[in-house]
Structure 1
């Protein structure tokens, strides 16, 4: 790959990232009063993170059912407000256990 193409790509990514972060500051001079709009802006990062993460969760194992089991384990533990490490490790162990048990069948 050409060094010029790499530098141009990095520069374009930096400009796009910078514009996305500066654009709201430049437009909204006053404090946002609308509860609906504030709520929307509050939940956008969570929605984007979920949209980026969920497909990886579903297709990360050799079997779709094992992925679903791991996701359910994580959701149940998160619902009961367990720590992030406990939720993640439990989901991984549930998938691993399923892989080991059902690969022998």
Structure 2
């Protein structure tokens, strides 16, 4: 019974994830809608990262903002994301010493 429940939950979870993949390759979207949909991951990432930037040190939010600014500047040079992360970490580390 438990195994049937697990398999059933897996199927119920997988179906809504697979259906859009098969439908979207057959549908042609307008360019503005496609650009808007492509921007959603960046907006979600910003919504997840920004509160963390502000709470690195709650009493001094400017330290987190400078770390985020450092990561943004490094990212504008189209370097690998690991360099942006390490740059932000180093900035926050040096400012908290």
Do the two structures share a fold, i.e. TM-score over 0.5?
A: yes
**Structure 1 unmatched runs, 5+:** 1-10, 101-105
Question: Which residue of structure 1 aligns with residue 4 of structure 2?
Answer: none
Q: 1:50 aligns with which of 42, 46, 67?
A: 46
TM-aligned CA deviation for residue 82 of structure 1: 2.1
TM-aligned CA deviation for residue 95 of structure 1: 0.7
TM-aligned CA deviation for residue 15 of structure 1: 5.2
TM-score w.r.t. length of structure 2: 0.69
Moved more, 81-90 or 26-35: 26-35
List aligned pairs for 1:1-105, cutoff 5 A: 19=16, 21-22=17-18, 24-25=20-21, 30-62=26-58, 63-100=60-97
Measure the CA separation in 1 of the matches of 2:37 and 2:14.
17
Which runs of at least 4 in structure 1 moved beyond 6 Å after TM superposition? none
- The count of corresponding residues between Structure 1 and Structure 2 is 91
TM-aligned CA deviation for residue 68 of structure 1: 1.1
The Cα RMSD (Å) is 2.8
